[in-house]
Structures are given as C-alpha cells and as structure tokens.
Amino acid sequence: MRITITSMSLPRPSRKYDASKQALRSCRVSQADFRDASAPATVWRQVRTPAEVQADTLPQEDQDALAREQAVALEFNGISHSALLCSPSDLEDLAYGFSMTEGIIRSAADIRGVDVLDGEHGSLLQIEIASACQHQLKARRRQLAGRTGCGLCGLESLDEVRRQLPRLDAPEHSPDAAAIFQALDTLRSSQPLHQLTGATHAAAWCSLQGNILAVREDVGRHNALDKLLGHMLRNDIDPRSGMVLISSRASFEFVVAVSAPTAYAVQIADELGVMLAAFARDRSFTLYSHPHYLNTAESKSATSP
C-alpha cells in the first residue's frame, strides 16, 4: 500500500464563528443528561514540592466532578446482543448509531422503536427492528461484553472485523482549510461534559463552512461517534453535506481525527475514497489520504467557469 502524507500549515483565517443559536444548543447535552453523565466527588490533591523542602505538603481536600460510566445492554426484538460501557446520555442516539455501524439496520426506518429501561446495575436498550433485518442481526450477533475502548470485543471470527463497504464517489463539495480550522477552534467549547470532567471524547458534525452543528460526548470514543451517527440518522442529515470531527485518535473504524491515525485507518480511508485529516492542531493538520479533496485555491480555479 502506498501512503501519501500532506501537511497543511496555514495562516489562521479571520472568519468568525456564525452558527445559529439553535445549532449551538444542539452542541450541548441537556441538564438531565449532565446529571446522569457526571457525578460529584471528594478528591485529595497533592502538590509536588521543591527538592530542597524536607517534607511533602499534605494532600488538600477538594471537590471535583467525575464522568459516569455504566453498563448498557442492547436487545434486539427481545434477543440479547451486546453490552457496552458508556456515558449514560443520548442512549437513543446510541441505539440508532450502533445498529447502523454494526450493519444490523439499513436506515433509520428499520428501527420501529427504542425503549430505555434504567436499572440498578445499568440500562437496557430494547430495540425493535424490522423483520427484514433479522438476517443481519444473526450475522453480527455478539456473545461477549464490549469494552469502553474497543470496537471489536465479542466478535466471533476474523471475518467479522472488516465488512465490505462500497467506495464513495468523489465529493461534489468539500471543506477548505479555513473551515477545518474554524471547527477546531470551537470544538473544545462545544464539549461541556469534557470541560466538567476532563474524561470524555467528542464527535462533532460540522458544516462544510466549519460550523459545529451537533456534538455527542462519551467516555468511549466509539460510543461518541455512534451517538453522533444516531443523531444524524434520526434527523435525516445527509452525510455528504458536512464533515465529522473527532477528538480522539483515528483507529481503523474512524476516518477523521484530531489526534493520530493508525495505519489501518489510513488504508481504509484510501480504499474507500475518504479524505483523512489527522494531527489537527491550532495552526496545522496533516492529510493522509485523498488530499486533492481539500477545497484549495487551485481546485476552485479548476472548477470555476
């Protein structure tokens, strides 16, 4: 496999963030979700003392907030399928996104309903799907519990790791560097749970102009993306109309990331026709696949009449 890496380091754009108030509200989780997804805690902070000081200072008691992590079981048409560890917020979005990324459903219309049942040891998602999806469900059936950081736990064979996906057509419209930088500028302020706890990942849906339109957070990076995709499915959002920005690294399931990608992520992005941008920082980002999809001055002049 040949890997082409292109680094972009550009002057920061002066474009202002002009998302509507409604778009900003969609970035936030509800107050009820906040209560569910975080918990107060008493902590003791130890400060490192200079070497010449003979004795360490005593830990100081303080108050902090911790991200909650709980078990969530998924049940399809009354059949147990998988168990995850995740943040207890936006669980209906998780049900839709997980069902789609697992290949169980073909569209949001395949889900007839979702019931969220809270119990002493976690939550149960009872998902009713169309009978036409029973074959896909059987093919992807998991017997083991999932983990917070792993998207493969419980798969029964190596053949299930990578499903065959069609290569995407070249995009008619794509973001430019200024749009990517603008989305990066506003990502952190759109993560209230991370600001409160410092322990969650985020997946953001952004317009091609760089406006953040929706954000989902979770202690698990896979869960955050599934929640975002579920939100998009439930609201019939065309994935060709924007881009996804994630705060975690890009492993083989992901195609866009603030942090580093893995070799498998680059391979899949290259095969599927997806522009992969990673190591996105304040003043630069790196393109690992299909750099010609970036909307540059050259591409604009080439397509103008």
Residues noted as catalytic: 150
Q: How far apart are CA 146 and CA 81, in angstroms?
A: 10
pLDDT computed for residue 23 by the predictor: 37
CATH of domain 70-153: 3.10.20.10
What is the pTM (predicted TM-score) of this model? 0.80
Structure tokens at 102: 């697992």
C-alpha Rg value of the chain to the nearest Å: 21
pLDDT digits over 81-133, tens only?
A: 989 999 999 999 999 999 999 889 999 999 999 999 999 889 999 999 999 99
Instruction: Give start and end residues of each alpha helix (H) in the chain.
Output: 21-27, 31-37, 91-101, 134-139, 177-187, 192-197, 221-234, 263-272, 297-303
Q: Where are the beta strands (DSSP E) in 120-247?
A: 122-129, 201-207, 212-218, 242-246
Q: How far apart are CA 54 and CA 273, in angstroms?
A: 61
Phi and psi angles of residue 207, each rounded to the nearest 5 degrees, phi first: -75, 165
pLDDT computed for residue 35 by the predictor: 54
Q: Would you identify the CATH topology of the domain 6-18+168-303?
A: Cytidine Deaminase; domain 2 (3.40.140)
Q: How far apart are CA 6 and CA 9, in angstroms?
A: 10
The domain ranges of the chain are: 6-18+168-303, 70-153
Residues in the chain, pLDDT under 50: 1-5, 10-32, 143-149, 152, 156-158, 252-254, 298-299, 301-305
List strands edge to edge, sheet with 111-119. 79-86, 70-76, 122-129, 111-119
